[in-house]
Structures are given as structure tokens and as C-alpha cells.
Amino acid sequence: MTAETLRAAAAQPTNLRYGKGLRKLITPVAIAIVLAALYVWVGTLQLDSIEQRSLNSAVIIQKAIEHLRLTVVATALVVVIAIPLGVVASRAKNRLITPFILGTANLGQAVPAIGLLVLCTFVMGVGFQTALVGLVAYAVLPVLRNTMVGVQQVDPALIEAARGMGMTKGQVLRRVELKLAVPAILAGLRTSLVLTVGMATMGAFVAAGGFGELIINGLKLQRMPVTIVGGVLTASIAFLVDWLGGLAEDLLKPRGM
Amino acid sequence: MFETDTGGAQIQLRALTKQFPGQAEPAVDSVDLDIPAGELVAFVGPSGCGKTTTMKMINRLVEPTSGEIRIGGEDVLALPPDELRRHIGYVIQQIGLFPHLTIGENVGLVPKLLGWDRPKAEARTEDLLALVNLEPGEYRDRYPRQLSGGQQQRVGVARALAADPPVMLMDEPFGATDPITREHLQNEFLKLQKDLRKTIIFVTHDFEEAIKLGDRIAVLRNQSHIAQYDTPANILANPADDYVASFIGADATLKRLALMTVDEVPTEGPPDPALPQVETGTSLREALDLMVANGTDRCSSPAGVLSYTALCASIGREEVAAGDR
Amino acid sequence: MSLSEYVASRWDTLSLAAAEHALVVAIAIGIATLAGVGIGLVTHRVPRASNASLAVSAGILTIPSLALLTLLIPITGLGWTSTLVALTAYALLPIIRNTVVGLRGVDRATVEAGRGMGMSRVRVLMKVQLPLAWPLILTGIRVSTQMLIGIAAIAAFVDGPGLGTQIFEGLSRLGSVNSLNATLAGTFGIVIVALLFDLFFSVVRHLTTPRGLRVRN
């Protein structure tokens, strides 16, 4: 679930690339095959009444919607919060807080997501909003850090050239710095997206629904098929979201870079 | 702004000083300099002597601590800095092309900032690319990273010329290119400047480059103090002091010969087909090279025979008679 | 009961849980380091192979931990084994990636100099490339460790060891006297374990970085 490190490094210039072109189709095809196999496998089982209550299309669709809603809303909030904060933190006069943010981002990784969620529950009770706060708090840092670092990493010569041709500071930020930071920001967003979709599974612990509920109920009621279906669906949705994130990255990246 | 024509405007620096906070000495100390309209003045000096800082005060990337800057008579420090910079061309060593914009977009940026309409800006972009010998149809839609270093540097020059500024500031613009490309870019640029007659300040630490490109050279020492400010020929002939002489190096006379052509030397008699031949426009340095290579003291140009004695006389040196040695 | 009283009264349980937490992470990191550096050493010269191993380990990292842990139950059962397998799998990517990047990043001239003075390819790899890449590899291990310490908390849900048990205890007795204390003790205990590991790695980094590389910093 903590793919943070992976994407954070993807923002660094390495010539390592995982998959392009036709290989882009591998993920959705593999997901489709796994889901089909799961469907066939469940079809061969003799489900008892408890299992039937969880494993029907109405429940699964509802869990999918809950899971995605939590992920999408949390990610949207992360974008709104983290990118402006990252830009503010990147400004020269705020450089002093840079090490603080980087330190918190690194340490924040060690705070267990489940602990954070449960602690939120003590403050806000159980439910969607609690899960949302926990998720956002957890996923804000990678985007904040990548935005800050991405803007700071822009070649000073480009900024000098921009200033030298008469761009205002605002124009330099909008037309040069932010544009060139887009790959790093997108990488951070994809990290936090994968983080969020994984952590949304734990939303079930605080009664926020999602596929995690199938996993937990299956274990509680000792119905392995339910747990396995929950696990496979959770993994599938994570791969799907990551894949969509990758597509978005390719699409939104400025050309020429 | 600068209501003179765009062919060039005079730049005047008066007691221009920059004191960076936390430093004992000013980086630039009370510089006075007049740069005539349409001339290229090379600032030469060791790194850290303040030549770049002096230049950057003119487009106010560095704000002067005190002093005065006038371009075409107008007080630069009274103008809004961003607006000012849009009317001053600026080329840096790292070029600084924006990698996320096409070549066309890079060149068209300043016209866009100035609010030109699209067709006018696009036409200007095409003209400029053609001017720096890049076929617009081929290069306009490419990205900087798809170009070689030399091509990128040409785009950098085109971008600086986009709004047809009367003044250009160039900070070691050809410093990062290999010697062959650099020579090529220098020659192209000389040709361009012959037509454009912009007022140009050209920072370099390469004295050869300064001689080649500069109408005048300002040799700077620490804190941007001007050691000598004159034409290349005069500096080579009469270096003001040892400091300037050390910049010129041991072959000052050869460098002077390189600045003159065979057409400037009086010839004797008609062309002689038996002698080594030089063409019109050949530098005296090359002519001398040819004589030494052929073991003669004469060569022939279309105007007549050129002797070693005449060559020495042309730079104010009498040939020492053999008997006096 | 205040948090400090809670910690004092359950010191034995908490310290055992913390030790187990550290132990399970340490074992997983140990295995992952051997495997990851090994994979990196073998594949770094073949882009196809290293990219494939990177893609697979990146894929593993995409699977939410709760899903991976529960999907392991039918294979490796509840408890330590599942926890170790999952943690080891998660730790691979940063270690493989940094090994590959580090080995590839060693200056070509340095490698050629080694070859030129008659060292075999394997000798150059072990005597030149690996020591030079080591700081980066160590960073990968450190990053993996921090990540595992967080993930290990969830292992308690599948009867795994560690401080996660405290958090789940707090969750299951929501509203009772000590539920908040248990959650806080578990969460902060994990952060403390993470800090101790980080300190450990700072020392290791200092001791194992070739002297010539430290000088430059």
C-alpha cells in the first residue's frame, strides 16, 4: 500500500521505465482475467446464506461505489490542499520550512495508517468523514513534498531567462515553474492515489464501507470465500486506479519533456 | 519605451554601484561607462570581477544600490522592471529555452507578453527563425531537446531579438559550445549584427572572442573597475597597463594582424603570379602565415605585391635593417 | 488511567509487542535485502530483466496490505508466516531499484579502470561497483524499513505479531476505559520503533560508507 517511495523516486531522473506502448494494456487485461476467474470460482462454490448475503452483485456494486467515493473525494481534497501548500512552501522566503516538511513526510510514513484512522475515530466517531480525514492526512504529504521539490528543482537558468525576458513573478510561476513541476506533481499524486485506494480498505474498520468490509466480515464470520473475494476486488481496484493514474500521467505531462 | 528606433540606443552608466548585503566590499564600484548606439561592447575580465553583475543591473535582474542607468536618455531605474526587460534582449550561457514549449512558442513568448496579436507574433517568429538560419517549417514545432546545442543557441538569440529590442545583453552566450560550433555561431552573429546594429553588451572571459566580436572592449578588474575601454586595435597596440597586457597574452602583434586585412596595406607594383597568392579580405595574420610557410617575404594580392616590410609598417613597426641587429 | 500509567502497567506486554514488531520487520528486511540486492546484481546489466523485476515488485507494492495479508491466509495461514511473506514482498522494490540504479550509476570510467587493470567482471562488481553503490542501496533498505514498520501494524489483524495488536485492541473496545490509551500506545510505539531504526541506519551508514565517499560530503 505504501507505494510512496516508488513514485517519489520516479520523480527523480532515472532511466528506468516500467512498461510502455502495448504493455499499457497488460494491466486491464490481467484485471479482467482475474475477475473472470474469481467469478467462475465463486460460481462453483455452494454458498451458505451468510455468504450469499455478502456475495451478490448489489452488495459488491455498493461496496465498489463506497470504496471509489472515498478514494476520489480524498484525492480531490489532497489536490486542493497539497498543491497550493507545496507551491507556498517552495517560495524562496519559505525555504526554512523545507527540511521540516521533508522530515515530516519521511516520518509520517512510519505512522501506521490504521493507528491514524482509529485515533480519528476517538475525535469524530465512526463513518465516512472520519475515514476521509484519516486518508487525506495520510495522502497529503507525498503530494505536498513532490510539489515543493518539483518547483524547487526547476533549473535556475530557466527562471533567470524568464525573468530576463520580462515575465512577472506570477507569470514565471504559472508558465514556467508549475508547468515544469507537473511531472513531479503527477508522480506524487499517483503515489497518494495508490496510497488512498489501499487505505480506503481500512475505512471498513471505522464503518466507512468499501471492499475492506468484505475482507473483515469474511474473517469475522469465518467465511473464507467472502474474504478472498474482498481481497481480490481490493487488489483489482488498486491496480485499476494505479493504471488510470499512469494514463493520466502520460496524458497530462507537458510535451517536449 | 525607448522611443528611439530599434536599431540601437545609447547606454550610459553613471557611478553605478552594487553592494550585496553581508559583503565588505561592493561587487560593482562606481562604474561610469558610455556605450554608443549600435555598437557591441565586450566586457572582459576574470570570473568574479563583477562584469555579469554590472550587465544584470542594466535589465535590473540585479537592482543597483546607487548610481544611474540611461538607455536612449531614459532613466531605466524609473521604469517598471518587468516592462523594461521585455524591451531588452537577454541571452545567457545556459540558453534557458523552456523545454515544455516548442521552438516557435519560445521565440513568440515576448511578443505575447507585449500583447501582440497572433498573426503578427507568428509572422515575427517565422522571420526570426529564418534570420538565425533555422528553416521555420522544419523547426517551429520541435521541442528544444530535439535540437543540437548550436541550434538551441541560435533559438536563444532569436528569442532575445523577438520584440526587436534596441539593446541586447549577452552573458557568455557561446561559452558552452564546442570550438567549431562557437566559431560558426560567432561568424553568423557578426553578420547578423552588421545588419541589425543593436546596442549590445557582451560578457565574456575569452579575450579572443572579445577582439573578434567587439566594436569596443571594456577590460574590467575587480569590482568592475575599468582598466581600459577602447577599440580592440587600440587596446592591442597600447595596453594601458600590465593587467591589460596580461589579458592580451604574448601574441598581441599577431592578434592585431588578425584584425587587419591585406586591403589596408599599400602594395608595390602589379600582382605577381609567381608569388604565393592571397585573396581580397584575407587577414594580415594569414598573409604572414603564408609567407613564413613559403619561406618568402612577399606575397601577391589582386591589388599588387605585399611585402613583409609593408606589413610591419602597417602596424607601426619599422623593419630593423639586417646590419643593425 | 493516563497514558503513562497505562504504559507503566503494561510495560511487559508493550515492550514484548515492540520487540516483536522490530523483529518481524528486521527479519523481513534481512531476507528482502539478500533477495533484492541479489536480483539487482544479477539483472542490472540486462535492462529487460531489471525492468521486469522492477515491474513485478512495483506491482506487489500496489496491492493493499490488508488484501495481500488476507489472500495469504489460505496459503500460509494466520500469524507470523503470512506477516513475514507480505512484509518481505513489500520491501523488495526500493531495494532492487536502488541497487540497479546504484550499480548502473557507477562512473563508466571507474569500471573501465578496474577492468583495465585486469580485474574480472565479477571482481569489479564486488570490489568497485557494489561499494560505490552501497550508500544508495542502504537508502533503499532504510526506506523499505520505514514502510514495513507502518505496514506491520495491520498484520495484527491476521494474528501477526507487533504493536498493531494494541491498535486493534483499542478499536475492538471502542468506548471502554483504556481503548484510547491502547491505540495511542500502539501508534506512538510504532513511531518510536521507526525512529530507533532510523537512528540505527544513520550509524550503519556512517560505518559502512567507504571513507573516500564520505570525504566528498
Question: Residue C177: pLDDT band by 50, 70, 90 thresholds?
Answer: confident
* CA atoms of A226 and A212, how far apart (whole Å): 11
Question: Does the interface predicted TM-score (ipTM) exceed 0.95?
Answer: no
**Number of Cα atoms under 13 Å in the Cβ half of residue B108:** 22
Residue A21's pLDDT is what? 62
Question: Residues A82-94: what's their mean pLDDT?
Answer: 88
Q: Would you say residue C202 lies in a domain?
A: yes
Size of interface A-C (CB pairs under 8 A): 156
Range list of H helices, A165-223: 169-171, 178-202, 212-220
Domain holding B55, by residue range, is: 1-87+168-174+198-248
* CA atoms of B81 and B92, how far apart (whole Å): 18
Asked if C180's CB is within 8 angstroms of A5's CB, the reply is no
Which of B143-157, B224-238, C102-116, C136-150 is the least confident region? C102-116
- For B59, the 3-state DSSP assignment is coil
Element (H, E) at B298: strand B298-301
Neighbours of C70 (CB within 10 A): 30
Query: Touching check for A158 and chain B: CB below 8 Å?
Result: yes
- The residues in A 155-214 lying below 8 A from C, measured between CB atoms, are 194, 197-199, 201-202, 205, 211-212
Range list of H helices, B87-215: 103-107, 109-113, 118-131, 136-139, 149-161, 179-196, 207-213
Q: Which residues of A touch C45 (CB under 8 A)?
A: none
Average pLDDT over chain B, rounded to whole?
Answer: 89
Question: Residue B6: pLDDT band by 50, 70, 90 thresholds?
Answer: low
Q: Would you say residue B71 lies in a domain?
A: yes
Query: Touching check for C71 and chain A: CB below 8 Å?
Result: yes
Q: Would you say residue B183 lies in a domain?
A: no
Give the CATH fold of the A65-252 domain: MetI-like fold (1.10.3720)
Residue A232's pLDDT is what? 94
| Cα nearest neighbour of A179 on chain B | B100
Q: Would you say residue C217 lies in a domain?
A: no
Question: Residues C58-71: what's their mean pLDDT?
Answer: 92
* CA atoms of B91 and C11, how far apart (whole Å): 68
Question: Residue A7: pLDDT band by 50, 70, 90 thresholds?
Answer: very low
Asked if C187's CB is within 8 angstroms of A234's CB, the reply is no
Residue B259's pLDDT is what? 85
Q: Please give the grid coordinates belonging to residue B218.
A: 571594456
Query: Touching check for A160 and chain B: CB below 8 Å?
Result: yes
- Residue B62 distance to chain A (closest CA, Å): 11
Q: Which residues of C touch A103 (CB under 8 A)?
A: none
Question: Residue B3: pLDDT band by 50, 70, 90 thresholds?
Answer: low
Q: Which residues of A touch C149 (CB under 8 A)?
A: 110, 112
**Which phi and psi (to 5°) does residue B24 adopt?**
-65, -45
Report the amino acid identity of residue B322.
A
Domain holding C137, by residue range, is: 3-212
**Dihedral sign of CA atoms A77, A82, A88, A91 in order:** negative
Asked if B95's CB is within 8 angstroms of A163's CB, the reply is no
Q: Are strands B199-204 and B40-44 parallel, antiparallel or unpaired?
A: parallel
Partners of chain B (3+ Cβ pairs below 8 A)? A
Residue whose C-alpha cell reads 506512538 in the numeric block: C188
Residue B318's pLDDT is what? 54
Give residue-wise pLDDT tens across range B177-213.
888 989 989 999 999 999 999 999 999 988 989 999 9
Query: Touching check for A22 and chain B: CB below 8 Å?
Result: no
Asked if B100's CB is within 8 angstroms of A167's CB, the reply is no
Q: Would you say residue B241 lies in a domain?
A: yes
Q: Are strands B74-75 and B66-71 parallel, antiparallel or unpaired?
A: antiparallel
Asked if A239's CB is within 8 angstroms of C59's CB, the reply is yes
Partners of chain C (3+ Cβ pairs below 8 A)? A
Range list of H helices, chain C: 3-9, 11-43, 47-62, 65-76, 80-105, 108-116, 121-124, 130-155, 164-172, 179-208, 211-216
**Dihedral sign of CA atoms A121, A123, A127, A133 in order:** negative
Q: Identify which of C141, C154, C158, C151 has the alpha carbon closest to the alpha carbon of residue C198.
A: C141
Q: Which residues of A touch B86 (CB under 8 A)?
A: 165-166
Has residue A151 got a pLDDT over 80?
yes
* CA atoms of C97 and C139, how far apart (whole Å): 11
CA A55 to chain centre: 27
Query: Touching check for A113 and chain C: CB below 8 Å?
Result: yes
- Pair (B10, B44) in one structural domain: yes
Asked if B84's CB is within 8 angstroms of A167's CB, the reply is no
Q: Please give the grid coordinates belonging to residue A214.
A: 468484505
Neighbours of B147 (CB within 10 A): 18
- Pair (B241, B273) in one structural domain: no
* CA atoms of C186 and B38, how far apart (whole Å): 76
- In DSSP notation, B214-231 reads -SEEEEE-GGG-EEEEE-
Report the amino acid identity of residue A124.
M
Q: Would you say residue B50 lies in a domain?
A: yes
Q: Tell me how far apart the terminal alpha carbons of chain A are, to the nearest angstrom.
A: 29
Question: Residues C166-177: what's their mean pLDDT?
Answer: 88
Q: Which residues of A touch C183 (CB under 8 A)?
A: 115, 118-119, 122
Which residue in the set B85, B92, B100 is minimally distant from A254, CB to CB?
B100
Element (H, E) at B305: strand B304-307
Residue A8's pLDDT is what? 38
Query: Touching check for A256 and chain B: CB below 8 Å?
Result: yes
Average pLDDT over chain A, rounded to whole?
Answer: 86
Give residue-wise pLDDT tens across range B82-126.
999 999 999 998 888 999 999 999 999 999 989 999 999 999 999
Q: Which residues of A touch C62 (CB under 8 A)?
A: 3, 194, 235, 238-239, 242
What CATH code is carried by the domain that includes residue C191?
A: 1.10.3720.10
Q: Please give the grid coordinates belonging to residue A37.
A: 476467474
Question: Residue B1: pLDDT band by 50, 70, 90 thresholds?
Answer: low
Residue B322's pLDDT is what? 42
Query: Touching check for C58 and chain A: CB below 8 Å?
Result: yes
Q: How many domains does chain B have?
A: 2
Give residue-wise pLDDT tens across range B268-292.
888 888 888 988 888 888 889 999 9
- For A166, the 3-state DSSP assignment is coil
More confident residue, B2 or C87: C87
Has residue A61 got a pLDDT over 60?
yes
What residues contact residue B70 under an 8 Å CB cut-off, 6+ apart? B10, B11, B12, B14, B76
Q: Are strands B11-18 and B66-71 parallel, antiparallel or unpaired?
A: antiparallel
Q: Would you say residue B78 lies in a domain?
A: yes
| Cα nearest neighbour of C46 on chain A | A16
Q: Tell me how far apart the terminal alpha carbons of chain B are, to the nearest angstrom.
A: 63
Q: Which long-range contacts (CB under 8 A, 24 or more apart) does B177-185 make?
A: B177/B149, B177/B150, B177/B153, B178/B149, B181/B149, B181/B150, B181/B153, B182/B209, B184/B150, B185/B150, B185/B153, B185/B154
Residue C175's pLDDT is what? 79
User: With contact defined as beta carbons under 8 Å apart, do A179 and B77 qualify?
Assistant: no
Residue A13's pLDDT is what? 36
Asked if C184's CB is within 8 angstroms of A112's CB, the reply is no
Q: Which strands make up the sheet holding B199-204, listed edge to edge?
A: B88-92, B167-171, B199-204, B40-44, B216-220, B226-230
Query: Touching check for A46 and chain C: CB below 8 Å?
Result: no
Q: Which residues of A touch C151 (CB under 8 A)?
A: 1-2, 112
| Cα nearest neighbour of A155 on chain B | B96
- For A48, the 3-state DSSP assignment is coil
Q: How many domains does chain C have?
A: 1
